[in-house]
Structure 1
Amino acid sequence: MRSNTPSLAPGFTLFPSLKPPHTTLFFHQIFVLILTFLAYASFHASRKPPSIVKSVLGPTVQTDSTSNNTGWAPFNGPEGTHRLGELDLAFLTSYAIGMYFAGHVGDRIDLRLFLVFGMMGSGILTIIFGFGYWFDVHLLGYFIGVQVICGVFQSIGWPCVVSVVGNWFGKEKRGLIMGVWTSHTSVGNIIGSVVASGVLEFGWGWSFLVPGILIIVVGILVFCFLVVSPDDLGFEMMSSGKEIEMCVGEENVANLEKVESEEAGLLENKDSDSLAAIGFLEAWRLPAVAGVHLSHKTAGILSTIFDIGGVLGGVLAGFISDVIDARAVTSVTFLLLSIPALILYRIYGSVSMVTNIGLMFLSGLLVNGPYSLITTAVAADLGTQDLIKGNSRALATVTAIIDGTGSVGAALGPLLAGYISTRGWNSVFLMLIFAIFFASIFLVRVAKTEIGRMVSEGKELGSSVTAS
C-alpha cells in the first residue's frame, strides 16, 4: 500500500475545465497516453547522446586529411573503444540495479512526483556530462560517475509510466494499445539521434545539453498534468479485464479473469531472459558500426532507421498478440525471424544504401516487436492479474523486475561487443544470433502452453457448433 494518497496535479487547479464532468473518460485516457508517451520518449532521447558522440570522443580512422578530430582523452587512446564500452556498462549496470529499487519505491509513493524526480535528475545529469566539454574534463572517473548516477535516475521512468498506463486501461486490447504507445522508445531514440547529431558540429557538449533541457521541460508538463489513477478524477477500474467506467455512488464488483500460477511464473521467466537477449542488438548498432565513409551526423541519422522499424514492429506485435491471444507465440515468431534478418544485414547491408536502410528497418521491426510486447503488455498483464488480487499498485514492481533483469543483458552487450569486435564484426553478429536464439528457446515452453490452450479452445468451439 502507498503511504499517502496521491495529490491531484496542479494543472487541474489552474484549468478546472479539465476535470469531469467537463471532460470524458476517453479524453483522459488519451491524455495520459500522450503525456506518458512524451515522458518516456524524452527519457530515451536523453540516453542517445553517448552513442552519437562516441565517434567524436573515441579513436577514429581519418578518411579526410583535413579533419581536425583527434578524439577526446581519455577515450582517444588505444584503449578508447574499451573505455567507451565501460561507460555503457556503468550506466546500464546502475540502471539495472536501480530498476529493482525504483519499482519497489514507485508502488509506495506518488508515481507522478517520483516520475518527475527521475526526469529532472536525468536531465541535470545529462547536462553535467556535457559540461565535460566546456570545462575541458578528461578524467575517466568523472564520466563514469555521471553515468552511474544518471542510470539510477533513468531507472525510475519505465516502472512509473507502465504503471500509470496500466491503471487507466483494462486487459482488453492492451497488446494493441501498448504496442502503439510503446513506440515512444523508438520515437525518443529518433529524436535523440537527430537532435544530438544536428548540434554535434558545434561541439559534443551541445549534444548533451539540448536533450537534457528537453527532458526537464517535459518533466514540468508531467508535474502539472499527469493523473496517476482514474480514481483521482472519480473514475474507477471495474476489473483488470474490463474497460474503466464512471462510477457514481455504486460499489464496484470485481470480475477478474483467472490466470494459472504456473503460466504466470513461466511468463515472468520468459520476460527476463528474452529482454536480456533483445538488448544485445544495441551493441552492434551503437558503438561504431556506422562505416568510416559516413559523416558523424549522417551515421547518427541513419541509425534512426532501426527505431522507425521498431515503431511498426511494436504495433504489429501488439495487434497480432491481441488477435491470437498469445504473447509468447508472437514473441518467438518475431525472434526467430530476426535471426535471418540479422544474417542478411551482415551479408548484404554494405551492398548499397538502399539495402542497408531496408534491412536495418526489417531488423528493427522484428527485434523491437517482442521487446515492446514483453516490456508493456505482458508486464501489465502480470501486474494486474488475479494472483495479486487485482492490485495494480504492484505493477511498478513487476515492470521493474522485467526491465531491470533485461538491462543486465543490455549492460553486458556493449561491453562484450567492444572486446569481440577486435576479432571482427562477424564475431559480434554471431554473438547476437546466439543471444536471440537462446531467448527464443527460453520462450518455447510458454509458447507450447499457449498453443495447447488455443487448440483446446478450438476443439471446444467445434464441439459446440456440432451440438447446436
Structure 2
Amino acid sequence: MIPPSLRRMSLTNDVPYGILAIQKCARICCPRNRCQKVILYKISVLFLTYLSYTCYHMSRKPISVVKSVLNDNCTNGTSTHCGYAPFNTPDGPKLFGEMDSAFLFTYALAMFASGFIAERVSLRYYLCFGMILSGLFQYLFGLAKILNIHNMTYFLLIQIFGGIVQTTGWPGVVTLVGRWFGKSKRGLVFGIWNSHTSIGNILGTLIAAKYVESDWSLSFIVPAIIICIGGGIMFLFLAESPESVGLQLDRPYSYERINDSDVEDDRNRNESSESAQLLQQRPSISIIDALHIPGVIEFSFCLFFSKLVSYTFLYWLPLYIENSSTLGAEVSAILSTTFDVGGIIGAIAAGGISDKTGMPATVCMVMLLVASPVLLLYQAFGSASMEISIVLLILGGIMVNGPYALITTAVSAELGTHSTVEGNAKALATVTAIIDGTGSIGAAVGPLLAGVFCTGGWQQVFHMLIMALTCAMILLIRLVAKECINLRRNSRTRSE
C-alpha cells in the first residue's frame, strides 16, 4: 500500500504546470461547477492532441514540395534555380524514392515498438520529446543547403532517424483520446479530430511553398521551429490521464469526478478505487493476442493498401501536377492541398456514417469503390483545367482518405477496446501500433513504386494505385458480409 503522502507527491509531480495554472483559474471562475471542469480537461486533451499531430504531419510535407526545385537541372530557359546535387540529375526521382522509403520503412518498423513503449512511459514526455526530435531532424535537412552538404548518405540518415522519432505521434495521441472519450459517437468525434492529418499537410505545403523558390532550406526550418514549440506546449498543458487530474475510472473509457472539491484537494482526501487500480495494473497484451481480436488483421492490411495510395499522393502529387501542367512549383504545391481538403470532408463523413450505421467495413468498401474511377478521371482530365482538377482532387481526397482516417482512428479505438481484451486500456496502444504500423509499410511501398513507375510515365503510377484500391476492397469482403448479416438479423429482430 502506497502511503498517502507519497501518492500525493507522485500525483503532483505528474501534473503539468499549465494544468496547475488552469486549475487555479478554474477555482476563481467556476469554483463549484464540476461539470465544466471535466469538460475543460476533455476539450484540452482533444485540442492538444489535434495540435500535436497537425505538427507531426506538417513537418513531413516539405519534402514533397521541394522535390521539383531539387530536381530541376536548368534544362528550360525560364528556370530561376538549378536544382541541388545529388538530386538535379535524371536519377533524381529514384533518389527521392529512396529517401521516401528510408523514412517510411523506418517509420513502419519502428511503429510496432513505439506502441509498446507508449504503454509504459508518460505520454506527455513521450510526445514532447518526439515532437522536439522531429523538429531537430527537419532542421538538419534544411541545414544541408546552408552548409552546402550534398552527400546522399546524410539525407538518408536524416530520413531514417526522422522516421523513428515520428512514430511517437500516432500511438500517443490515439491512446490519449481513447482514454478520455467513450464509444458514443466515437466515429464522428474521431472523424472531426482526424482532420489534423489533412490540416497538417495543408499547413506544411503552404509554409514550404512560400519559401520553395526563394530559399528551400526555410521550407524545412520554419516547420521545424513550429513543431518544437508545439512540443513545449504539450509538456506544459497535456493532462495525459484522468487520474493525473483527479478523475476516477469507473468503467473503461468513462470518467466521473471523485467529489465536489478541486483536483488538488481530491488528492489529499481520496484514493483511487480498487477497480481502477486493477484496470491500470493489467499487463500489456502481446502482438499475438492483439492479432486474435476479430478484424485486426483485415483492417491492418486494408490500411496497408489505403495508405499506399494516400501517401503516394502525399509525396508525389505536387511534382505530378507540375510535370503534367504549365504551373510552377509554388502553384502546384498549393493546388495539391485540395486533395487534403477532400480528406477532411472524407474523414468526417466516414466517421459520421459509421456511427449511424455501425458498419465501418461497409463504409470503407463503398468509398474505396468510388475512389477508383475518380482517380482514373483525374489522370485523364485533371490537367484540362484548374476547375476540373480541383473538383477531382477534392473527390479523390474524400474517397481515399475517408477509409484511411476511419480505420486509423475509430476502428483502431474500437478494436483496442474490444470485449476480448476485457477493458484493458493498455491494449489500445498495441492495437493502434499494429494497424498503423502495417498501414505504414504500405505508405512506404507506395512512394517507392511511384518513383520507379513514373520514369515510364505517370499512367503506370495511376494503374498501380487502382490495383492497390482493389486489393483493399478484397480484404474487406468478409467483414462487409458479416456486417450485412448482422444488419439483416437486427432488422428481423426489430420487426418481430
User: Could you state the TM-score of these two structures normalised by the residue count of structure 1?
Assistant: 0.92
The aligned counterpart of 1:372 is 405
Q: Distance in 1 between matches of 2:75 and 2:340?
A: 28
Change (3 A) 1:31 1:175: same
1:253 CA drift (Å): 7.5
1:97 CA drift (Å): 1.1
Q: In the alignment, is the contact (CA less than 8 A) between 1:19 and 1:233 conserved in 2?
A: no
1:202 CA drift (Å): 2.9
The aligned counterpart of 1:283 is 312
The aligned counterpart of 1:135 is 147
1:264 CA drift (Å): 6.8
**Matches of residues 62-141 of structure 1 in structure 2 within 5 Å?**
62-63=75-76, 65-141=77-153
The question of 1:399 aligning with 2:432 is answered yes
The question of 1:168 aligning with 2:196 is answered no
The aligned counterpart of 2:243 is 231
Tell me whether 363-372 or 51-60 shows the greater mean CA deviation: 51-60
The aligned counterpart of 1:204 is 216
Q: Which amino acid aligns with 1:139?
A: N
The question of 1:339 aligning with 2:372 is answered yes
Q: 2:443 aligns with which of 410, 414, 420?
A: 410
**Alignment partner of 2:451: what SS?**
helix
The aligned counterpart of 1:466 is none
Q: How many residues in Structure 1 have an aligned counterpart in Structure 2?
A: 453
Q: In the alignment, is the contact (CA less than 8 A) between 2:293 and 2:420 conserved in 1?
A: no
The aligned counterpart of 1:50 is 63
Q: Distance in 1 between matches of 2:74 and 2:85?
A: 16
**Alignment partner of 1:69: what SS?**
coil
Q: Which amino acid aligns with 1:361?
A: I
**Matches of residues 21-60 of structure 1 in structure 2 within 5 Å?**
22=31, 23-59=36-72
Q: Distance in 1 between matches of 2:195 and 2:290?
A: 31
Q: In the alignment, is the contact (CA less than 8 A) between 1:59 and 1:78 conserved in 2?
A: no
Q: In the alignment, is the contact (CA less than 8 A) between 2:115 and 2:429 conserved in 1?
A: yes
Q: Distance in 2 between matches of 1:306 and 1:295?
A: 18
Change (3 A) 1:262 1:446: farther
**Alignment partner of 1:170: what SS?**
coil
1:327 CA drift (Å): 1.1
**Matches of residues 247-396 of structure 1 in structure 2 within 5 Å?**
247-248=258-259, 265-281=293-309, 282-284=311-313, 286-287=315-316, 288-292=319-323, 293-396=326-429
**Alignment partner of 1:213: what SS?**
helix
1:225 CA drift (Å): 0.4
Q: Distance in 1 between matches of 2:99 and 2:291?
A: 38
Q: Which amino acid aligns with 1:301?
A: I
**Alignment partner of 1:202: what SS?**
coil
1:251 CA drift (Å): 5.1
Structure 2: where are the runs of 5+ without partners? 1-9, 260-269, 280-288
Q: Distance in 1 between matches of 2:298 and 2:39?
A: 33
Q: Distance in 2 between matches of 1:15 and 1:181?
A: 23
Q: 1:430 aligns with which of 447, 463, 470?
A: 463
Q: Distance in 2 between matches of 1:275 and 1:59?
A: 34
1:108 CA drift (Å): 0.4
Change (3 A) 1:296 1:232: same
1:284 CA drift (Å): 4.4
Q: In the alignment, is the contact (CA less than 8 A) between 2:100 and 2:448 conserved in 1?
A: yes
Deviation by residue 1:133-192 (Cα, 9 ceiling, x = unmatched): 100000000000000001000011000000000000011111000000000000000000
Q: 1:7 aligns with which of 3, 7, 14?
A: 14
Q: In the alignment, is the contact (CA less than 8 A) between 1:163 and 1:396 conserved in 2?
A: yes
Q: Distance in 2 between matches of 1:252 and 1:354?
A: 61
Deviation by residue 1:256-311 (Cα, 9 ceiling, x = unmatched): 9xxxx999734211221121111222324533211341111111111110001100
Q: Distance in 2 between matches of 1:124 and 1:200?
A: 20
Q: Distance in 1 between matches of 2:22 and 2:357?
A: 43
Q: CA RMSD in A?
A: 2.2
Q: Distance in 2 between matches of 1:275 and 1:263?
A: 15
The aligned counterpart of 2:230 is 218
Tell me whether 415-424 or 47-56 shows the greater mean CA deviation: 415-424
Change (3 A) 1:289 1:401: same
Q: Distance in 2 between matches of 1:407 and 1:455?
A: 35
Q: Distance in 2 between matches of 1:12 and 1:421?
A: 50
Q: In the alignment, is the contact (CA less than 8 A) between 2:417 and 2:425 conserved in 1?
A: yes
Q: Distance in 2 between matches of 1:263 and 1:394?
A: 11
1:17 CA drift (Å): 2.4
1:450 CA drift (Å): 1.2
Structure 1: where are the runs of 5+ without partners? 464-468
The aligned counterpart of 2:478 is 445
**Alignment partner of 1:290: what SS?**
helix
Identical-pair percentage: 41
